[in-house]
Chains A and B, each alone.
Chain A
Amino acid sequence: MTSTWLVILSIALALGAPAAYALLLRVAVVRNHPEAYVLAFAVATALAGLAVARARTRRWPAWTALALTGVLLIGGSWFNFVGARVPVAPTALRVGERAPDFTLTDAAGRPASLADYRGQKPVVLIFYRGYW
């Protein structure tokens, strides 16, 4: 493969992988394997490295691709393996024990308590943040 094609493939992979991840975030198997985008960045970096090695004359596109994919690989690795870590800490929740009751207001300002559902319905209680 020529250096130009390697550069195109490398950049397409480096930009396409996070775009696909973001678009398919609601699909559990995609969302729950964020290491896949890190792997894509690693492959893209390797392709860019190969492009640099194969470049005969105009070398700057290959070097640019290598710099871009390298930054994404380092940034993506840090985010997934360090930044996104949530430290483990004890919670007030034990399987088989009643969850602590609370009252909060909903979007319309109406108060809602966990106790409202007791004897009525099972509850899926989700504490969430961000786009994931």
Chain B
Amino acid sequence: MAELQGLGAALSEAERAGVEIVAVSPDPNERSQKLAEGLHLGYRFLADRDLAVTRRYGLVHARGGPSGEDVPRPATIVLDRNGVVRWLSISSNFQVRPDPADVLRAVRGLS
């Protein structure tokens, strides 16, 4: 969540218009809605309640949640206009998320 705020703050208006930021989490939609409104960043929050998509991507941290439930491995993936992966970062410590400057560099490098 803090990571999304940091990335939003690093983006200029023009950059925000030129890229779609899609945030996927198992959070219920109501929580995502609140988060989306609070951030005013125009992110697309998508709910993956049963982690089906997260699992298909190979990004499930099995029994990694506070009550032993499956949770997502934090990951940031930059896709070009054709949906091809150009840059990715997967956390090995869930407190650590990519620096917005690195994400932006990857986005700017797409041209």
Contact with B along A69-99 (1 / 0, CB 8 A): 0000000000010001111111111111111
Judge whether B58 is part of the interface by a CB distance below 8 angstroms: yes
Judge whether B68 is part of the interface by a CB distance below 8 angstroms: no
CB distance from A114 to the nearest CB of B (A): 6
Complex interface: stretch among A9-17, A41-49, A55-63, A102-110: A102-110
> How long is the Cα–Cα vector from A97 to B30 in the complex, in angstroms?
33
Tell me the nearest residue of chain A to B36, going by C-beta. Answer: A107
Tell me if A's interface is mostly helix, strand, loop or mixed.
Answer: loop
Asked whether, in the complex, the Cβ of B74 is within 8 Å of the Cβ of A132, the reply is yes
Given contacts A86-B93, A122-B80, A92 and B58 within 8 Å (CB-CB):
yes
- Taking a contact as CB atoms closer than 8 A, the residue among A93, A96, A104, A128 that contacts B1 in the complex is A128
CB distance from A29 to the nearest CB of B (A): 8
Could you say which residues of chain B place their CB within 8 Å of the CB of A119?
81-82
Q: Which residues of A contact B (CB under 8 A)?
A: 25-29, 31-32, 34, 80, 84-102, 104-109, 112, 114-115, 117-132
